[in-house]
Structure 1
């Protein structure tokens, strides 16, 4: 607990500096090539629908099962546009809440949103899972990009025309220090500059796992907290909301793994 409090204090002190840095980068000249060319040059996502189904990525195809994620997508878009938010962290109080699965489903839902470009970056550098949920086998890790040894154009994947992924092939050795580094901030600013996503989602480690997420939350505009029904105690949700609110805006709380849904869930006109 003392380590978490120290990390919170340090992150609060650096948040203002981080906000200023992002503003300065936003005023820098644009990418060296058109954004459309940057997106087109990314390696295509290797779609394995059978594996996605096994991993509960139900939004890979439109329909009743995808409807809750489409609704979540619409709510995120509304709040982001209303508040001018562009960087969104996906975090959970504890392990096993399904944050990576939620982001994977959101990615496919956003791919159907034809007027937006979205980046999904896995920054859970201790126990990366997004590549497993998506059934991908990347050659590199985001850690190599954050410390300046790799460019996103050499690593990123593109789903359709509008969704990009930055995945990992294994854990990083020094995640806390890496996420706090100036090189990491510059690397993320570079992705925004080159690809101009409307929204960038970051899958970060659970709040109780380490101080990695506390180190990084100062770099985002808001966070969505994923809680597991019948598993995450209300006290842990309240604690998570307080911790996140000290460092960034809480966009909302998503209750995942619900066993019971109403008959209206997934309703459409067809």
Structure 2
């Protein structure tokens, strides 16, 4: 079965009705291109980028099921988190983003919002040049902050940790910044790589800005009690799209 034409309908005006500076195609075309190294991605187990590892099929399946759920509800924003550190939520976020990028008609944005311990730049073998806190505070324009890892995959990386992330996530400015980003890039899917849900109140404070949550459980790391606690925290706040078991014991276990 082919999934390469899956499309989420975004509420965007036709390009020919927009001024040039507001045309999503112009923004995408003008984004700086990230120098992604396939060898580094493979070394860090970002298997969806090349599809050389057979386990990439699991991320293709996750991608398609997630798109179906988003389409059904008219959603676009998904937070990816885990109960605790060491579960592989960044690994899942990155692989899911590259799996989505293979759908040419789906525009995806991946943001590193684990502000206390940013890692996506290292995972992708890239160097972040600006601070996510400055971007979320409206100091940096999206076209000057994001980079493009594929024609339809934009990355928002972070070059340093922040201690006040919980407070930042609950400001009114962040709502405006994310709305601007979604509209500017006419994004179909926005993935937020979040910190662990049980570590601080960062994720809980950010939930008003997302439509749903993907929860990553680490094989041999997460306990049933931790998963139940996270589900209780999210209950009545945001729906959980699913709980993904990420077996992190070795490089061949995904």
Taking structure 2 as the reference length, the TM-score comes to 0.87
Moved more, 60-69 or 126-135: 60-69
Map of 2:107 onto structure 1: 117
- Closer/same/farther in 2, CA of residues 30 and 257 from structure 1, 3 Å limit: farther
Q: Is the 8 A contact 1:80 1:86 kept in 2?
A: yes
Deviating runs (4+, > 3 A) in structure 1?
Answer: 29-32
Q: Is the 8 A contact 1:90 1:225 kept in 2?
A: yes
Q: How many pairs were matched up?
A: 237
d(CA) in 1 for partners of 2:163 and 2:57?
38
Map of 1:62 onto structure 2: 51
Where structure 2 has 5 or more consecutive residues not aligned to the other structure, the ranges are: 1-10
More helix by share: 1
Map of 2:7 onto structure 1: none
d(CA) in 2 for partners of 1:216 and 1:26?
25
The question of 1:48 aligning with 2:76 is answered no
Q: Is the 8 A contact 1:94 1:208 kept in 2?
A: yes
d(CA) in 1 for partners of 2:216 and 2:12?
30
Query: Which of 28, 50, 60 is 1:39 aligned to?
Result: 28
Q: Is the 8 A contact 1:30 1:193 kept in 2?
A: no
1:247, distance to aligned residue in structure 2 (A): 1.8
Q: Is the 8 A contact 2:38 2:50 kept in 1?
A: no
d(CA) in 1 for partners of 2:107 and 2:101?
8
Map of 2:176 onto structure 1: 186
Map of 2:62 onto structure 1: 72
d(CA) in 1 for partners of 2:109 and 2:155?
6
d(CA) in 2 for partners of 1:57 and 1:174?
30
Query: Which of 141, 144, 149 is 2:131 aligned to?
Result: 141
Where structure 1 has 5 or more consecutive residues not aligned to the other structure, the ranges are: 1-24
Q: Is the 8 A contact 2:147 2:154 kept in 1?
A: yes
1:173, distance to aligned residue in structure 2 (A): 3.6
Aligned runs of 1:68-217 on 2, under 5 Å?
68-217=58-207
d(CA) in 1 for partners of 2:168 and 2:88?
24
1:67, distance to aligned residue in structure 2 (A): 0.9
d(CA) in 1 for partners of 2:102 and 2:115?
28
